[in-house]
Structure formats: structure tokens, C-alpha cells
Amino acid sequence: MENYWESWYVSYVNYGYLQKYKGVVPQPNGNWGAQLYTNNQRIWLGTFTSEIDAAIAYDRASMKFRGVDAPRNLPLTKSTLLEASFQSYYSIETILGMIKYGSYQAKFEGYQRVLKADKESDIKVVAQGLANDEVVLSIYDPQGRLWEFRYCYWKSSKSFVFTRGWNLFVKDKKLMPKDKIIFYFQENLEMQNMGFWVIDTCKSSSHIGLSLKLSVKQEEEESLKDDKMDVEMIQTSNVKIQGLKLFGVQIIG
DNA sequence: CTTTGTGTTGAG
DNA sequence: TCAACACAAAGG
């Protein structure tokens, strides 16, 4: 355009446009820019053709930088949890690159496909009854590997614990104190009752993993190498659950 | 020439 | 921390 001040952008702003989305700024040529401020610094997320795309870009970046609780433009959905898990596999730089150059959506969908592919075999969460209050939980990790944990209540310590199988998981995932563990139910969109449970881990450095936050009790931190680990449930999410009891709390979808 | 996104400012 | 504004750098 020949004159900046006669652009669409300026009239748009001057005639009462109200900011619809956080982090979204109109560009002189009609496109939309997305930006996020953090740590006294502006992170440019790229330019987009539509306003809504810019808003989504902001949401994705906001989640990566500040966790699933972060302020966002579009409301949280069921897949948001999955998205947090998805993001945890990539660095901030990588996620920003995906947002900026448009590969984010495809990557995320690919991630969901991988999770869903595992249900083809007889994938279902199985909680086999053992003696007393013990059960065996069969849960898949995001890579499709099956994990089995014995889970029971210990009267001596009045706590719910994972016993057999947990040690192996901790070692394999290189879990450290303060790391978070996410449990979520992956539904099968085509067939009902064909979903399965997934257990995923989150580095403590990121702030992802709101749904079921498990914190290792301070005094237990050194016992990570033991075959037991005391866990405490902080809060539940709205994840759909089929009558499973975890950590003494009945969770029903 | 077009588009991006940085420099900068003032409000909240 | 944020959007608005102005414009220089980057891209084709």
C-alpha cells in the first residue's frame, strides 16, 4: 500500500474494534499476528490469515509456556489434556516452530493416531481383582507399551500405593522427585467402550499435567528406588472414568 | 513491492 | 503484561 495511514489496519483500529483474542494483533495487510509476553519479553508466534488461527496459536504457546491452566482464548476441551501431553515431548523452540510454520496440527493429530492405534489389540484397562483391596492396573504409555501395576491400600501407612511394577516404570521413565504423572482415558471415537487408559509422565521443569497430579511425599523422595512409592492425589479432572478407584477416591465420569 | 515482526510506548 | 503504533528488516 502506498500509505500506511490509509491502510485497513488503521481504520480498523480507529473505528472501535475491540480486541477479541488475547495475544492477537492486526497486521497492516489484513493478516493477524500472534504474540505472547513472558519473562519481560515478547515471543512472536507468527502471522496468520485468520484471526482465530492467531488466537489458537496463542493458546498453544500459552499452554507450552505456562501450563494447562494458562489463560487462553478458546475454552478447554477434552483433547486439551492430550495436547499438554503431546507438547511435553517437544522443547519450547520446537513447539514454537510448529506453531509458526503450521505443522503443529498435523503433528498433534499424528500423536493422537498413535495413541489410538494401540487399541486394535485387546486394549482395555484391566483391573483384575486380587486378595483384599489389591488390584492390578494395566495401563499403556504413550508409546503403546503396556504396564501393569499392583495397586493396593496399606493399612500400616494408611495410604494407597503402587507396588509391583512401579519400580520398573520409575526406572524406565527416569522419574525424579517432583515429576508429574498423568493418567487419562483415551476414548475410541469409532467404537464405544474401546478406549484405554494411558499413563504419561511430565518433567517437573514444565508445568504440564494438571489432570491427576501426583506428588511424591517429601519424606519418600529417597525411596524412589524401593519397590513402592507413596502417592497422594491432589485433584481430579473431568476425565471420563469407568468406575475406577484411584488413591482412595472413586472417580466417575 | 509486500509482509513480517521488532522497537517502543503508555495503559493496566 | 499487554496492545497499539510506527517502521525497518526480511522475503519474493
Cβ of A165 less than 7 A from strand C: no
- Interatomic CA distance for residues A184 and A197, integer angstroms: 6
pLDDT reported for residue A58: 96
Q: Is the pLDDT of residue A228 over 80?
A: no
Using alpha carbons, select from A132, A159, A136 the residue that is nearest to residue A146: A136
pLDDT digits (tens, 9 = 90+) for A104-140: 998 898 888 877 765 554 444 454 444 455 666 777 7
Strand B: list protein residues with Cβ under 7 Å: A 1, 27-29, 31, 33, 35, 42, 44, 46-47, 100
User: Tell me, in Å, how far CA of A107 is from C1' of B8?
Assistant: 36
Closest nucleotide to A24: CA versus each C1':
C3
Q: Is the pLDDT of residue A95 over 90?
A: yes
pLDDT digits (tens, 9 = 90+) for A38-91: 999 999 999 999 999 999 999 999 999 998 888 999 988 877 878 988 998 888
Residues whose CB is less than 8 angstroms from the CB of residue A2 and which lie 6 or more positions away in sequence, other chains included: none
User: Tell me, in Å, how far CA of A140 is from C1' of C2?
Assistant: 42
- Interatomic CA distance for residues A92 and A31, integer angstroms: 25
pLDDT reported for residue A15: 52
Using alpha carbons, select from A208, A201, A197 the residue that is nearest to residue A253: A197
pTM of the model: 0.54
User: Tell me, in Å, how far CA of A34 is from C1' of B3?
Assistant: 14
Cα atoms in the 13 Å half-sphere on the side-chain side of A242: 13
Q: Which residue type is seen at A118?
A: D
Q: Which residue has the higher pLDDT, A177 or A103?
A: A103
Closest nucleotide to A31: CA versus each C1':
B3
Q: Which residue has the higher pLDDT, A203 or A168?
A: A168
Q: Is the pLDDT of residue A210 over 50?
A: no
Which nucleotides in chain B lie less than 7 Å from some protein C-beta?
2-6, 8
pLDDT reported for residue A114: 75
